[in-house]
Chains A and B, each alone.
Chain A
Amino acid sequence: MIALADVGCSYAPGAAPVLDGVSFRAARGELVAVVGPNGAGKTTLARVIGGLLRPARGVVRIDGKDPAGVARRDLARTLAYLPQRYELAFPFTALEIVLFGRYAHHRGPGLEAAEDVKVALAAMARCDVEPLADRRFDTLSGGERRRILVAQALCQGAELLLLDEPTAGLDPAHAIAVMSALAGERDRGAAAVVVTHDLDLAARLADRVVVLAGGRIIADAPPAEAFAAPAVAAAFGCALHTGELPSGGRYLVAR
């Protein structure tokens, strides 16, 4: 369970709060999309949940524990966090990057076990990047890199997933595939919180949508209800049209 209560955060003392009174929960078996216009505080929220930023006020709990207070290794076994930015300084291969996700499962400088490699390759297959395993990460396209990083998060084997822009730069088919993989994790009992700008994907696949604007939550509801709220359209500065597809499922168009 990911739980936040009245979280407030700012990057400098006296500066305008980036998060202001944010409260929400994501339980196991839920796929929650966090959306909002640029500068709404989405990435800050993800960093607070990931224990990388200590909030100025409020409480954050990951399975009942303060993420900024537990050992990173222990947290990584519970929560897999994919940061928005990922700049690699050395020429590792795609498989090596995915295997970083197994870090918390071993101590010391030893090599990965065959089981780790199997888990990593399975995660890569789910993100359709297995054929890229021996390619250098820095030679791949932005979308391919993003899918490799999603595979790294899946490879971590955590039951709570927190992904900041997992579908950024992905073509529609791969974006749907990645979100479907996360929905699959949800169906297996994981909790997934996805920060995204892809409102259509959020409308289609999320169980709940949390809308952030100006550091505050202005909606926390199932997609159809959240995107129908006038305050949400006002926050995005455009009309949001949702509907049902003849084949079933929802869609969202911003106009």
Chain B
Amino acid sequence: MSFLAGNARLTAARLTSVLVACVVICALVAFLTPLVGVVTPGGGLELMSPAAIWGGDIDATVYWQVRLPRSLAALLCGAALAGAGCAFQAVLRNPLAEPFTLGVSSGASLFAVAAIRVGLASPLGTAGVGAAAVLGAVVAVAVVWRLARVGDALPPATLILAGVTVSMFCSAASMAIQFTSSFADVSRMLRWMMGGLEWTTYATVARAAPAVAAGALVLVWQGRALNAMAAGPEAAASVGVDPGRTQSLSFAAASLLVGASIAVAGPVGFVGLIVPHALRALVGPDHRVLLPASMLMGAALVGACDTLARMLGQWPVGIITALGGGPFFLVLLVRGKRHADLWRG
């Protein structure tokens, strides 16, 4: 394990080892968790055979048509949220930076709630609410961006303040809409805001995957610039980073990731906050390994949490990530206080 630890310069061998380990964990979660709950003599593995797939076997159909797309959607959301959280923390140099504190999730929720209120859910179904949520995320990002920007710079403190303010405003507006809505609509709104993956199909995955891939590519490409940004925009500029460009690109890519995730699963909390923190303690702060590792392990985490949610009787996955993530994060925080392991904001 010490070989993986981030207390030495990132080498090709360490990068490869960490990423291979994360990919294996991710793949195991993707293909094995859909088998959880399947009762067959072979533990479910026989569902992978061509005979089962093409033979109309009911368990195989459930595995391939219902659970695997749901598992893949969970993985996409986890990767997107963890990647976005990691990027937000890097450019803002702030441990509280994640989609929720920057107003992105609240903006998405407000638009989703408004869409349900005006009856958009009936003609367009969940896709309509999802589209409204993405629009909300984009609007919130644009407003926070505009409020926080000072000249060419994006001061982290101003951005966090603007994000928290927009977040609180959107939350209050959401509550106002809920307060004046019918009981049935309020129920739908609350259900959406809890986040869930039970209606996902391969089409959902196909819609979200390009956005997640594009966002991930932009962020990973900027790994070295994000490293230098750890010392602040001025110090980063002194070694050749364009801080304004790095902040803008990272912010846009991270928002794209959050939007894609929200469109699929609604708001899922805590993933963007805890995964990069935990991984930073394990693999070190170099974003060339931290970003991809966070995305892969975020994917595995949401995949596992969604399985647990499914086993508990189709609970919303957002409840599981927050209930499990909160105590886990507190353990990290207490350990960090004792060993001064966590980075200081």
Q: Report A's interface with B, CB cutoff 8 A.
A: 47, 50-52, 71-73, 75-77, 80-83, 85-93, 95-97, 99-101, 103-104, 106, 108-112, 117, 134, 136, 138, 152, 156
Contact = CB atoms under 8 A, between A and B. Distances in A.
Contacts of A86: 231-232, 235
A160 to B, nearest CB: 12
Contacts of A100: 227-228, 231, 239
A88 B295 CA distance: 24
B143 interface: no
A89 B221 contact: no
Contacts of B345: 89
Contact of B241 (A72, A81, A85, A89): A72
Given A90-B343, A93-B9, A76 B15 contact: no
Given A89-B343, A92-B227, A103-B228, A109 B220 contact: yes
Contacts of B8: 93, 134
Given A96-B9, A111-B15, 14 more contacts: A50-B238, A52-B234, A73-B240, A75-B240, A77-B240, A85-B234, A89-B93, A89-B231, A96-B10, A99-B9, A100-B231, A103-B240, A108-B221, A110-B224
Interface in B192-241: 220-225, 227-228, 230-232, 234-235, 237-241
A76 B11 contact: no
Contacts of A117: 9
B235 A111 contact: no
B18 to A, nearest CB: 13
A136 B7 contact: yes
B7 A156 contact: no
Contacts of A156: 239
Contacts of B286: 92, 96
B57 interface: no
A255 to B, nearest CB: 36
A158 B101 CA distance: 40
Contacts of A92: 227, 230, 285-286
Contacts of A52: 234, 237-238
- The 4 tightest CB contacts between A and B, nearest first, are A76-B240, A104-B240, A90-B285, A89-B93
A93 B7 contact: yes
B46 interface: no
Contacts of A101: 239
A51 B341 CA distance: 35
B280 interface: yes
Interface residues of B, number: 36
B235 A109 contact: no
26 contacts: A50-B238, A52-B237, A80-B238, A85-B232, A85-B234, A86-B232, A89-B93, A89-B343, A89-B344, A91-B284, A92-B227, A96-B286, A97-B231, A99-B9, A100-B227, A103-B224, A103-B240, A104-B239, A104-B240, A109-B221, A109-B223, A109-B288, A111-B12, A111-B15, A111-B288, A152-B239
A78 to B, nearest CB: 10
A125 to B, nearest CB: 16
Contacts of A110: 224
B88 to A, nearest CB: 13
Interface in B2-35: 7-12, 15
B228 A73 contact: no
Interface in B328-342: 341
Nearest to B92: A89
A121 to B, nearest CB: 11
Contacts of B11: 111
A117 B241 CA distance: 19
Contacts of B15: 111
Nearest to B93: A89
B22 to A, nearest CB: 17
Contact of A90 (B222, B230, B235, B240): B230
Contacts of A108: 221, 224
A95 B234 CA distance: 20
Contacts of B242: 71-73
Most chain A CB within 10 A, of B9, B225, B232, B345, is at B9
Contacts of A83: 234-235, 238
A88 B90 CA distance: 11
Contacts of A112: 9
